[in-house]
Amino acid sequence: MEKRNETTCDKQQIKIQQIPGLVYIPEYIDITLEEYLLTQIYNQSIAKWKKLANRRLQNWGGIPHEKGMISTKLPYWLQNIATRLQQDGFFPTTPNHVLINEYLPGQGIEPHEDGPIYYSCAAILSLESEIVMDFYAKRVKSETAEGTREYAGSLLLQPRSLLIMRESAYVDYLHGIQESFYFTKGSWLLNYCCCGKEEERQVDRKKRVSLTFRLVTKTIPNVVRLGK
Ligand SMILES: O=C(O)CCC(=O)C(=O)O
């Protein structure tokens, strides 16, 4: 029998009931915009990419720091989406920072929280291929709980979808992507009812790109020095 979860699929914005503040929006952008964004991303010089052990990334808007971010203007192709995210009510002002992550099969990101440097909302736009993101409730170490986190569920992030993490989802949960070469699609996914309800099956991972929009609340204006 199909396992039921409480998530309802009749709205464009799918509120994941099990994790308050987690919202999944399929097809937030269309294929034309997806291709345009990928062209912009891969038109950047190789120096724009920072290579990490388990993925590579581009940083836009400045380097976030608790003392304040020296902010630099986002390029127009990111600014347009940042403006839309504010207009859609996800941020009080336009997000000023974007991380672009590229994951090859077998690459991922450790469970983590984004923390207080940012306004308590992260908006993740997925491009190119689908992936599974896992969520863990933060737990204080106790005799009954093993470790400091407890698995809370997983979402399928489809290309062109937007994931919003705010309120409790932002503050009380960690999110991460396993360093796997495949994942299983099925009713165990919290948003499975919204993803076409295909037969349960194993899916080989492909390259995926994500854009994480956030708002660094404390900023220091970038003073442009005019040449002598
Ligand atoms: O690639 C993703 O979907 C997650 C990115 C993320 O968690 C981050 O940049 O902090």
Sequence-separated (6 or more) residues with CB below 8 Å from residue 188: 3, 154
| Average pLDDT over every residue of 123-144 | 88
pLDDT, the chain, mean: 90
What are the helix (H) ranges across the chain? Answer: 31-43, 76-87, 167-171
Test site for ligand 1: of 24, 113, 120, 124, most ligand atoms within 8 A of the Cβ? 124
Shortest-distance Cα residue to atom 1 of ligand 1 = 210
For 207-221, what is each residue's pLDDT tens digit?
Answer: 999 999 999 999 987
Is 208 a domain residue? no
* Domain span holding position 171: 14-195
Please report where in the chains the tokens 């994500």 appear, as a residue: 210
The number of beta carbons lying within 10 Å of the beta carbon of residue 210 is 22
Test site for ligand 1: of 63, 177, 205, 211, most ligand atoms within 8 A of the Cβ? 177
| Average pLDDT over every residue of 100-113 | 97
Is 227 a domain residue? no
Residue 99: per-residue pLDDT: 98
The number of beta carbons lying within 10 Å of the beta carbon of residue 146 is 10
Burial of 168 from C-beta contacts in 10 A (0-12 / 13-18 / 19+): middle
Is 142 a domain residue? yes
For 151-190, what is each residue's pLDDT tens digit?
Answer: 999 999 999 999 999 999 999 999 999 999 999 999 899 9
Test site for ligand 1: of 154, 210, 211, 215, most ligand atoms within 8 A of the Cβ? 210
Of the pLDDT bands very low, low, confident and very high (cuts 50, 70, 90), residue 59 is very high
Is 24 a domain residue? yes
* Structural domains of the chain, count: 1
Residue 195: per-residue pLDDT: 75
Is 212 a domain residue? no
Is 85 a domain residue? yes
Residues contacting ligand 1 via CB (< 6 Å): 99, 101, 109, 114, 124, 175, 210, 212
Is 126 a domain residue? yes
Residue 145: per-residue pLDDT: 53
Which ligand 1 atom is at minimum distance from the Cα of 55?
A: 1
Sequence-separated (6 or more) residues with CB below 8 Å from residue 181: 105, 106, 204, 205
Chain centroid offset of residue 226 CA: 37
Is 55 a domain residue? yes
Which among 127, 123, 183, 125 has a CA at the least distance from the CA of 154? 183
CATH number for the domain harbouring residue 72? 2.60.120.590
